[in-house]
Amino acid sequence: MGFAASAHYRIVVMGGGTAGVAISNRFKNLDHYYQGGFTLVAGGLKTVASCVKPTQALIHPNSVWIQKSIAELHPKNNSVILDDDSEIKYDILMVAPGLELRYDMVSLF
C-alpha cells in the first residue's frame, strides 16, 4: 500500500511482533511467528509451521501496513524518519521493537 513522502497517522506502531499485533495489528514481516508456541514445538506438541501465519492475514483492514524500518525517532516533533528518508507524523507513537534472542550469551554453568 502506498503512502505520501510525508504522511500523518493518528497512531504509529514501531515494531511488528506480538506486542505490535496486540496494539494495532500492524506488521513489518511477511510472516508472523508466535513465539509462545515454540515451547510446544520443543515439546513435540506442535510443528513450527503451526506457529507461523502470513502477516497480512493478521492485519486489520483499516490499518495501513508500511513495510519500512524506522531510521530516526523525533519525539519532540511527533515524527519518525523511515529508511527511505520519508517522514511519518503521528499523534501517538507506540514503541514495541521486540527482542533479539541471544542464546549464545547464556552460559550453561
Longest dimension (CA), the chain: 53
What is the residue whose three cell numbers read 494495532? 24
Total number of residues shown for the chain: 109
pLDDT value, residue 27: 42
Q: Judge whether residue 94 has pLDDT over 80.
A: yes
Residues 15 and 96 sit within 8 Å (Cβ to Cβ)? yes
For the stretch 46-85, pLDDT in tens is 888 887 777 667 667 777 778 788 999 999 999 999 999 9
Q: CA torsion, points 3, 67, 59, 2, in degrees to nearest 10?
A: 20
Q: How far is CA 44 from the centre of its chain?
A: 28
Architecture of domain 6-99 in CATH?
3-Layer(bba) Sandwich (3.50)
Higher pLDDT, 18 or 1: 18
Residue spans of the domains in the chain: they are: 6-99
For the stretch 10-46, pLDDT in tens is 878 887 677 776 665 544 455 666 677 778 888 888 8
pLDDT value, residue 26: 45
Q: Is the whole model's pTM more than 0.85, yes or no? A: no
